[in-house]
Structure 1
Amino acid sequence: MTVDIDKAVTQVAELARDRFADRAGEYDRDATFPAADLDDLFAAGLNAPTVPVEHGGLGLGPLRGDAYPLWLMTTELAKADLSLARCWEGHTNSLVLLDAFATGEQRERWFEGVVRRGEKWVAWSGEPQAPKPGEARRFGTAVARTADGWVVDGSKAFATSATGADWAILLVSLAGPGGARHAAAGDSVLLLACDLRHPSVTVDTSWWDPVGMRATASHVVHFDHTPIEGAWQLGEPGDYIRQGWQSAFIPHYAASFLGAAQAAYDYALRYVERQDKGGDPYVQQRVGGMLVALDTARLWLAHVARLWDEGHAEEARLAGTRARHVVEHLALSTVDHCIRTCGARSLVRPSPVERILRDLTFYVRHDNDDHILATIGRGALGRHHDASFFKP
């Protein structure tokens, strides 16, 4: 089977421009999962980019030696709606994990569900252990072995696509609450595939009311003695941390940041043209700054993708962390240049810049950039560093 990757990237861009961008404002206001967008991607045969070609997908991603086209698709979706891009990231990254860890039988079952029925996947780790001020509850899961597999009890927060996904890869710790990010020991982290349609899985929509990324529907999800078949375990405990899979997904965040910045730049160019402000030297400086930032971000992503594609995994992980740090600041500065160029009216709805500012400001908090930069420094100094979750 021959796959035309360039055509697929173009199709994603066209859908994002012609359909998804118009829906983004409503999804944001209602804080609802962008279901119609994902359905359109499925109808176009574009919802399985990281599924191997032999299973009906496009065979993209860092595992398959073709990372950059996947990140280009993500950038195009983020230009229309950064929340949509985050849901897409969760889905496509989960399929990478299935490709990496699933047995032959698991692959046949789950890839068919994606390709033939449009099933949506996510991977959830979020179990923050420190409550925010005024918050009494704590999040976390406990997992127990049974004769038939596993039972999961507890809750996860920041559960992206909670009201839209069909399956989740649960990152749970055998040592107790903490998921993967807050697990005391990486060797305790286990990957379990969970059918979210089971009646023991419920979604609490009252908690997710953020300033940005509202349409990711990243609610709290409760598990009440949820059964997981033994045949739904992926790999062995500790594989996710030991093999560094989180670091493979870090540059994917940067691709989303880049898309949001590109949307702000495009808005600014249209504004300058309509207002005939192209002769203003300060506007020229702002536009120049935006263009250089976007070009730099693309070069970083292409560099990291090339390292993955050529099999230089360790170099790719280190470069991906640097790219994520750099692109965060390039994207934020691009949005700032856009706002300074276009003025306060660019922050009045229905201007997309108002949403882009909220979404990007919120999404870059996914990781603490101070810890990211310190991690980069520790690596340069030859000191022990955590390239997955940037723990000090």
Structure 2
Amino acid sequence: MREKNTIRQDQKFDNGMLTQVLEKIAQRSSKSEHHPEGPQEEFQWLKDCGALAIVLPGELMDFNAGRTLQLLKLLKDIGQANLSVGRIFEGHINALYLIHLYARERQREKWYQEVRDHGYLFGIWNTQANDGVRFIESEGIISIEGSKTFCSGATLVNRALITGNISLSDRSGWQMAILDMKSVDSQNIDRDSWKTLGMKASGSYKVDFSGYEITEDEFLADPGMYLRQPYFNGGAIRFAAVQLGGAEAIAAHTLAYLQELNRSADQIQQMRISNIMTLLISGRIWLNQAAVYYDKWANSGTHDEELITFANMTRISIEEICLKIMDESNRCVGARGLMHPYQLERIYRDLSFYLRQPAPDATRLKVAEFFIEDNSAFNE
């Protein structure tokens, strides 16, 4: 049973404070990239303005209230400030959404309260290599063997939603669990595993969970629910929003650079700026429509394939938009614009890496298959 959609009298979200926080996050981006503990201060600021709790029942972007458009804009704005912070924040929102969908009432109350009262940061880590996570039972105790990779915010997250294979007498399949990161030894976080082109500040390290003894209250839902549609593929619109925020940052820095050097009157540069802004607005339109469809269809059970397809199209369209904006910006600023003290070099690296999401070609094929079977879809 989900909490009722009522507005709380003690809402903590402060939109004016958020604007100031985003400015500070953007100003600190270069420093955060090389900070050994990642963007700790940034998430303290987000906690202080109420952003970590913003999707909980009764809050401004309550999942029950159909506020996907506002949520996507928030994700985009945080991505514009710092893509690594946006990636970790999107994981927090994703984890809370899975709790919203699948947690038992007692679990939901506990985990929500940890966010409300203590500002706990949640993460979601599904990716793994050959030494992936397994839940095993011995003498009545269930424990974990194996590791997760690409664990964004590994040194910052308080509660980690992980997935792994479980094969017990009463259940089997791909199981979700939410773990207390205080019970994971810091030595099990492999800080040498994240040597990357971009997104360095996300601290997406490999984490070994071997030996973690798990309780029944830490398991989330039945095996297989993590991959349940339309929520699994439909959630792509959230990371696409963060990515578009990175493209917005590139557009803003590019225009500022040209104006600083008095090159904005050049007609060739104006053509490039026109292309960049047209692409950017196209991305916003994709997100806006994706939000409309999500709120309309996600829980209806009648338009799952349409919702998945539009989310896939949004994801691949925003990927192409971001790549084209980077290319146009690169031509605008040249070599000088990719040097200190300008920020574009770092944002290019972050966005280039963040755009490498799983199975891009298979996603395009799925879109094609849908329209081959039903070429009248979306004829509204």
TM-score interval, smaller chain: 0.7 to 0.9
Which of 10, 15, 33 is matched with 2:21 structurally? 15
Aligned ranges 1:124-273 → 2 under 5 Å = 124-128=125-129, 138-145=130-137, 150-174=142-166, 188-199=173-184, 202-273=188-259
Cα displacement (A) at 1:46: 1.6
The change in CA–CA distance for 1:64 and 1:151 in structure 2 (over 3 A counts) is farther
Q: TM-score, normalised by structure 2?
A: 0.88
1:131 matched residue in structure 2: none
The 1:294/1:3 distance shift into structure 2, 3 A limit, reads farther
Contact 1:52 1:99 in 2 (8 A): no
**CA drift at 1:379:** 2.2
**Relative to structure 2, which stretch is displaced further, 266-275 or 28-37?**
28-37
Question: Which secondary structure does the structure 2 equivalent of 1:158 belong to?
Answer: strand
* 363, 377, 381: which one aligns with 2:354: 363
Cα separation, 2, equivalents of 1:349 and 1:157: 32
Counterpart of 2:38 (choices 25, 33, 54) is 33
> For residues 4 and 67 of structure 1, what CA distance do their matches in structure 2 show?
22
Structure 1 residues 365 and 200, CA, compared in 2 at 3 Å: closer, same or farther? Answer: same
Which secondary structure does the structure 1 equivalent of 2:177 belong to? strand
User: How far, CA to CA, are the matches of 2:138 and 2:108 in structure 1?
Assistant: 24
CA shift at 1:31, angstroms? 5.7
Structure 1 distance, partners of 2:70, 2:17, is 12
The alignment partner of 1:123 has SS state of: strand
TM-score, normalization by structure 1:
0.85
Counterparts of 2:65 and 2:38 in 1: how far apart (Å)? 29
Matched letter for residue 367 of structure 1 = P
| 2:184/2:209 contact within 8 Å kept | no
**CA offsets 1:133-174 (integer angstroms, 9 cap, x no match):** xxxxx4312211467663111111111111110111111122
Does structure 1 retain, via aligned residues, the 8 Å contact 2:26–2:82?
A: yes
**Number of aligned residue pairs:** 358
More displaced, 361-370 or 213-222?
361-370
Q: Which runs of 5+ in 1 are unaligned?
A: 129-137, 177-186, 384-392
Q: Percent identity?
A: 25
The residue type equivalent to 1:326 in the other structure is S
CA RMSD of aligned residues (A): 2.3
- Whether the 8 Å contact between 2:257 and 2:337 is mirrored in structure 1 is no
| Paired position in structure 2 for 1:372 | 363
Q: Gaps (5+ residues) in structure 2?
A: 1-6, 375-380
Aligned with 2:297: secondary structure? Answer: coil
What is the one-letter code of the residue matched to 2:28?
A: R
Give the distance between the partners of 1:175 and 1:355, measured in 2 at CA.
Answer: 44
1:208, 1:236 → 2: CA distance?
32
